[in-house]
């Protein structure tokens, strides 16, 4: 199998390739560079930190040579990123009239403005620290921007301490726009690092600044809590958040001009080996250039520097705006394909539930909602109105812990029942269940509504998070249903998460960590049996990652049996395709486009009839953690029309993508399939955009 860490870096190389495409709008090319920086930060904070820890264990299977190989690959990727930034994107931005002015580039008027900005907005917040025995090296937070300075001369007390550290407060903007009058006909920006660099001497009066460098340290940021040894998980995580920023140092970034004596000093302070040093040709945190993208006014620039605006369409055919969603679901299920279709129907479903006096109870899982969420506000309103509200909040959703803790506390404050899933397992399933008391017409006529009242369940299941912002950027499928079997399964999952009791086998859904992996392997083997018997045998799986050995072995067996297998894997994939006699019938492709591919779809066929196929939607990737250490669900689409729609929109276009798709080779490298053909995402944007409103799509959209 291929290496997972290498596969993650290869995915980021595919993202970086978007920044090199001339058919992608310029600011979007810069945004891809920022995305790569953010992804690499998380790689070091989580994946590489775990990899280093494994290398210290005797039987973990990770050697020092493995660590050095991954480190070398990370160095290559980051060098490629800065080359793209300096040699491709920045010159094109300048040509478009968007300039980042260094101190040497600024004229007298610009320098005067920058000086005033520094004196009024920056200098009062800076506290330079000269190092000596009573001023030890400060505790540097994860990913915080700092300067290290070597000083000449003596301090105010006649001593020759030479090293000083300047912390840059996070509250300061990293990109500052100059007044238009100072850059006629252009849009001018200065970086905060350039502002501070130009005024370093003022921070050390009477001393000479001999050399200096920006630096940033990346730390292990996985929040570790021994759940078997805590009484209140929320309180334990709350207390742990304060120490997250000061975990073990993993990577040190400095600018390429940093003198060796300063970088060596920093490596010693952070107890890092030489290979952990990354000398970059530019700002040490390219993520912050998102602030430049946000401030650029591209209305005066042609062609447009951004993708054409995209608003998901309301599914008017499947869900008329003027009709109750409950009434519509009593006639059949509704499928929502985001971001091509709007996330608003999900919010409207919850809003209608909150305002409907017949709705008695609402249950929902929360994984990543963000610090602002209309859905959370509606749940709070429902609890205030006296409805029974139960929320399963996953406190350990990485980097969303604080927001989720805050929502949990607000929900509890208004009387909602809040639980935190199961000890040792993350609740990653995306479920919303509404229970409504409904009265038949005969009951209303008799004057005794309770005689014929019954409780009916309605549910929303999703492959993605309950986050309206990311629903505009990620591809996902949502499913609204009143199906009695499926909603009973959803209710059973909520009951189990609350009571921790054993439950009967689910009617339709697969659930991790209980049945999902085993049932998927059984289905794959069923396809393999069909292939051996000469029957149609087909597997198409669209997921974000494929690393689970048990599922990979099952796919290899199916390939050897003659099954035809296509895997659409956005990120890490350790299965090696195209190996003769093993995986030569398996093809793996990855699609990287305007939207982040996030949909999980699994299609299996083991014969010629309609009864010989099944299609599941799921919240789970094919990773061991999803199968064995998380609460996940997968559910079948039994409606033939909706099942065909998922095939036509989520699978077929991606198998024919000739613009944004890459093919995985047996050596672990990826090759772009094409650049001028059809884009699956672009085709779906066109499909859902009303013809009368459809402008020409932006290149690469």
SS (H, E, C) 94-136: HHCCEEECCHHHCCHHHHHHHHHHHHHHHHHHCCEEECECCEC
User: Can you give the pLDDT at residue 663?
Assistant: 98
What percent of the chain has a predicted confidence (pLDDT) above 70?
92
CA distance 99 to 21: 21
Q: Which residues are registered as beta bridge partners of 418?
A: 391
Copy the structure tokens of residue 664. Answer: 């995985």
- Asked whether residue 452 carries a pLDDT value surpassing 80, the answer given is no
Residues 455 and 557 reside in one and the same domain: no
What are 680-689's pLDDT values in tens digits? 999 999 999 8
What are 117-176's pLDDT values in tens digits? 999 999 999 989 998 877 889 999 999 999 999 999 887 777 778 899 999 999 999 999
Instruction: Report residue 122: phi and psi, to 5°.
Output: -110, -55
Distance between alpha carbon 597 and the CA centroid of its chain, in Å?
A: 10
Residues 453-478, mean pLDDT to the nearest whole number: 95
User: Can you give the pLDDT at residue 397?
Assistant: 62
Confidence at 502, pLDDT banded by 50, 70, 90: confident
- Asked whether residue 226 carries a pLDDT value surpassing 70, the answer given is no
- Asked whether residue 607 carries a pLDDT value surpassing 50, the answer given is yes
Among 90, 83, 81, 3, residue whose Cα is nearest residue 40: 81
Residues 433 and 383 reside in one and the same domain: yes
Q: Is residue 304 domain-resident?
A: no
As annotated, the active-site residues are 428
User: Can you give the pLDDT at residue 699?
Assistant: 36
Residues 256 and 127 reside in one and the same domain: yes
- Asked whether residue 396 carries a pLDDT value surpassing 50, the answer given is yes
Residues 205 and 84 reside in one and the same domain: yes
- Asked whether residue 225 carries a pLDDT value surpassing 60, the answer given is no
Q: Is residue 71 domain-resident?
A: yes
Residues 32-45, mean pLDDT to the nearest whole number: 96
User: Can you give the pLDDT at residue 244?
Assistant: 61
Residues 552 and 497 reside in one and the same domain: no
What are 351-371's pLDDT values in tens digits? 999 999 999 999 999 988 877
What are 566-581's pLDDT values in tens digits? 999 999 999 999 999 9
Confidence at 398, pLDDT banded by 50, 70, 90: low
Residue 253 sits in a domain of what CATH number? 3.30.1840.10
User: Can you give the pLDDT at residue 233?
Assistant: 60
- Asked whether residue 69 carries a pLDDT value surpassing 80, the answer given is yes
Residues 495 and 585 reside in one and the same domain: no
Q: Regarding beta strands 334-338 and 474-481, do their DSSP bridges make them parallel or antiparallel, or are they unpaired? A: antiparallel
CA dihedral in degrees (351, 356, 358, 360; nearest 10)? 40
Distance between alpha carbon 579 and the CA centroid of its chain, in Å?
A: 32
Confidence at 698, pLDDT banded by 50, 70, 90: very low
- Asked whether residue 692 carries a pLDDT value surpassing 50, the answer given is no
Is there a contact between 525 and 557 (Cβ–Cβ < 8 Å)? yes
Residue 520 sits in a domain of what CATH number? 3.30.870.10
Give how far Cα 575 sits from Cα of 358, 464, 550, 567, 673, Å: 51, 24, 11, 10, 19
Residues 249 and 356 reside in one and the same domain: no
Is there a contact between 208 and 218 (Cβ–Cβ < 8 Å)? no
What are 469-490's pLDDT values in tens digits? 999 999 999 999 999 999 999 9
Among 16, 23, 17, 20, residue whose Cα is nearest residue 38: 16
Confidence at 241, pLDDT banded by 50, 70, 90: low
Residues 496 and 516 reside in one and the same domain: no
Residues 117 and 146 reside in one and the same domain: yes
- Asked whether residue 451 carries a pLDDT value surpassing 70, the answer given is no
Write out the H or E segment, with its range, that includes residue 65.
helix 64-83
Mean pLDDT for the chain overall: 91
Range of the domain at 398: 325-505
Burial annotation 370-390 (CB, 10 A radius, 16+ → b, else e): beebbbbbbbbbbbeeebebb
CA distance 325 to 476: 20
Residues 596 and 534 reside in one and the same domain: yes
User: Can you give the pLDDT at residue 321?
Assistant: 87
What are 75-115's pLDDT values in tens digits? 999 999 999 999 999 999 999 999 999 999 999 999 999 99
Q: How many domains does the chain have?
A: 3
User: Can you give the pLDDT at residue 242?
Assistant: 62
């Amino acid at each position: 199998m291929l290496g997972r860490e290498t596969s993650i870096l290869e995915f980021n190389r595919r993202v970086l390739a978007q920044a090199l495409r001339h058919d992608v709008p310029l600011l979007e090319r810069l945004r891809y560079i920022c995305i790569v920086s953010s992804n690499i930060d998380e790689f070091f904070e989580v994946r590489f930190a775990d990899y280093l820890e494994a290398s210290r264990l005797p039987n973990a299977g990770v050697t020092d040579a493995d660590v050095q190989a991954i480190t070398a690959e990370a160095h290559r990727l980051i060098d490629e990123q800065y080359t793209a930034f300096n040699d491709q994107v920045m010159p094109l931005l300048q040509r478009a009239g968007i300039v980042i002015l260094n101190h040497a580039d600024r004229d007298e008027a610009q320098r005067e403005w920058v000086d005033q900005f520094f004196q009024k907005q920056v200098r009062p917040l800076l506290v330079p620290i000269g190092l000596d025995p009573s001023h030890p090296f400060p505790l540097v937070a994860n990913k915080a921007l700092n300067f290290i300075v070597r000083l000449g001369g003596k301090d105010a007390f006649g001593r020759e301490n030479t090293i000083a550290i300047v912390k840059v407060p996070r509250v300061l903007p990293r990109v500052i726009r100059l007044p238009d009058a100072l850059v006629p006909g252009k849009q001018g920006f200065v970086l905060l690092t350039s502002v501070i660099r130009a005024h370093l001497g003022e921070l050390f009066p009477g001393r000479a600044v001999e050399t200096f460098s920006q630096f940033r340290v990346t730390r292990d940021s996985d929040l570790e809590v021994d759940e078997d040894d805590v009484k209140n998980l929320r309180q334990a995580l709350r207390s742990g958040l304060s120490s997250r920023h000061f975990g073990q140092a993993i990577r040190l970034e400095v600018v390429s001009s940093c003198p060796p004596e300063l970088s060596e000093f920093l490596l010693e302070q952070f107890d890092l080996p030489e290979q952990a040093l990354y000398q970059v040709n530019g700002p040490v945190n390219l993520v912050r250039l998102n602030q430049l993208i946000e401030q650029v006014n591209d209305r005066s620039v042609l062609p447009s520097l951004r993708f054409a605006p995209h608003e998901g369409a309301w599914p008017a055919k499947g869900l008329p705006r003027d009709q109750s969603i409950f009434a519509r679901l009593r006639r059949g299920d509704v499928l929502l394909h985001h971001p091509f279709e709007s996330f608003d129907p999900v919010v409207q479903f919850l809003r209608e539930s909150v305002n409907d006096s017949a709705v008695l109870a609402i249950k929902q899982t929360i994984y990543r909602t963000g610090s602002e969420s209309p859905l959370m506000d509606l749940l709070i309103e429902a609890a205030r109105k006296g409805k029974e509200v139960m929320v399963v909040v996953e406190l350990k959703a990485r980097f969303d812990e604080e927001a989720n803790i805050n929502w949990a506390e607000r929900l509890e404050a208004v009387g909602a029942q809040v639980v935190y899933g199961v000890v040792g397992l993350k609740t990653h399933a995306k479920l919303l269940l509404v229970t409504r008391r409904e009265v038949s017409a005969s009951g209303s006529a008799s004057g005794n509504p309770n005689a014929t009242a019954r409780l009916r369940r309605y549910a929303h299941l999703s492959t993605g998070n309950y986050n309206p912002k990311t629903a505009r950027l990620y591809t996902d499928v949502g499913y609204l249903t009143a199906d009695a079997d499926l909603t009973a399964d959803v209710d059973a999952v909520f009951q189990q998460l609350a009571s921790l009791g054993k439950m009967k086998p689910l009617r339709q859904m697969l659930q991790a960590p209980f049945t999902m992996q085993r049932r998927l392997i059984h289905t794959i083997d069923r396809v393999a049996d069909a292939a051996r018997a000469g029957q149609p045998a087909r597997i198409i799986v669209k997921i974000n990652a494929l690393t689970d050995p048990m599922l990979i072995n099952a796919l290899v067996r199916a390939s050897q049996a003659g099954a035809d297998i296509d895997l659409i894997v956005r990120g890490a994939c350790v299965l090696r395709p195209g190996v003769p006699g093993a995986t030569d019938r398996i093809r793996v492709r990855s699609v990287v486009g305007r939207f982040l591919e996030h949909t999980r779809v699994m299609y299996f066929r083991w014969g010629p009839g309609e009864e010989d196929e099944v299609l599941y939607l799921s919240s789970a990737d094919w990773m061991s953690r999803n199968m064995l250490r998380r609460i996940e669900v997968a559910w079948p689409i039994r409606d033939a029309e909706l099942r065909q729609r998922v095939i036509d929109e989520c699978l077929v276009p991606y198998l024919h993508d000739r613009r944004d798709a890459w093919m995985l080779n047996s050596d672990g490298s990826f090759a772009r399939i094409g650049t001028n053909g059809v884009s699956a995402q672009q085709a779906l944007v066109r499909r859902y955009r009303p013809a009368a409103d459809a402008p020409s799509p932006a290149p690469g959209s």
